[in-house]
């Protein structure tokens, strides 16, 4: 289905937009793992858009589909770690983490600090919806994106 990749792109764009809304209007600063998830959504969205515009080129479509699945898996790993840290904060050291130093040193953080600068606390649980935190929802979303991209490649009989 050609529209699947456009929907994945639009979904990623919407999630990134909502993350910016939470940051600017609800004062939820992104932590290093949040920023890593934002990067995953960006990469998935751009790759899905490439897949959408290359529906007729089978090889490019397959590569893009594989990359969307791979990036969704990486995003799920990051979101899973984030959800784990929220549930077991005693395993998390307070202070500046190596991830925060690394992400804030990237050119992206200087180029667009609102989007890519990590200043928040990874164990913050101030936002919940249906008893799930942002990383929980992100984990579910990454898994759904990966499964959707995988199923889009299956041949119908």
pLDDT digits (tens, 9 = 90+) for 3-39: 888 999 999 999 899 888 888 888 787 788 888 898 8
Q: Please report, for the chain, the start and end positions of each structural domain, with discontinuous segments joined by +.
A: 3-152
- pLDDT reported for residue 40: 93
Distance CA 9, CA 11 (A): 5
- pLDDT reported for residue 115: 61
- pLDDT reported for residue 76: 95
Could you tell me which of 53, 45, 60 has the C-alpha nearest to residue 14? 45
- pLDDT reported for residue 27: 77
| Between 121 and 85, residue with greater pLDDT | 85
Mean pLDDT of 40-54: 91
3-152 CATH fold? Bromodomain-like (1.20.1550)
- pLDDT reported for residue 157: 46
Q: Do the beta carbons of residue 49 and residue 91 sit within 8 Å?
A: no
pLDDT digits (tens, 9 = 90+) for 70-110: 999 999 998 998 888 887 766 666 555 666 666 656 666 66
Is residue 61 scored above 90 in pLDDT? no
Mean pLDDT of 130-136: 83
DSSP H stretches of helix in the chain: 3-25, 32-53, 58-87, 98-105, 107-111, 113-116, 134-152
Mean pLDDT of 129-153: 87
């Amino acid at each position: 289905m050609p529209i699947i990749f456009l929907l994945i792109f639009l979904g990623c764009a919407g999630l990134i937009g909502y993350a910016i809304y939470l940051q600017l209007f609800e004062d939820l600063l992104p932590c290093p793992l949040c920023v890593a998830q934002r990067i995953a959504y960006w990469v998935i969205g751009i790759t899905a858009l490439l897949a959408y515009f290359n529906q007729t080129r089978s090889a490019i479509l397959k590569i893009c589909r594989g990359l969307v699945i791979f990036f969704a898996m990486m995003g799920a790993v990051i979101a899973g770690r984030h959800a784990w840290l929220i549930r077991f904060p005693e395993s998390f050291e307070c202070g500046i983490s190596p991830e925060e130093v690394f992400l804030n040193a990237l050119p992206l953080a200087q180029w667009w600090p609102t989007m890519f600068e990590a200043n928040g606390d990874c164990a913050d649980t101030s936002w919940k919806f249906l008893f799930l935190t942002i990383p929980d929802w992100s984990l579910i979303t990454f898994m759904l994106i990966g499964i959707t991209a995988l199923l889009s490649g299956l041949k119908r009989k």
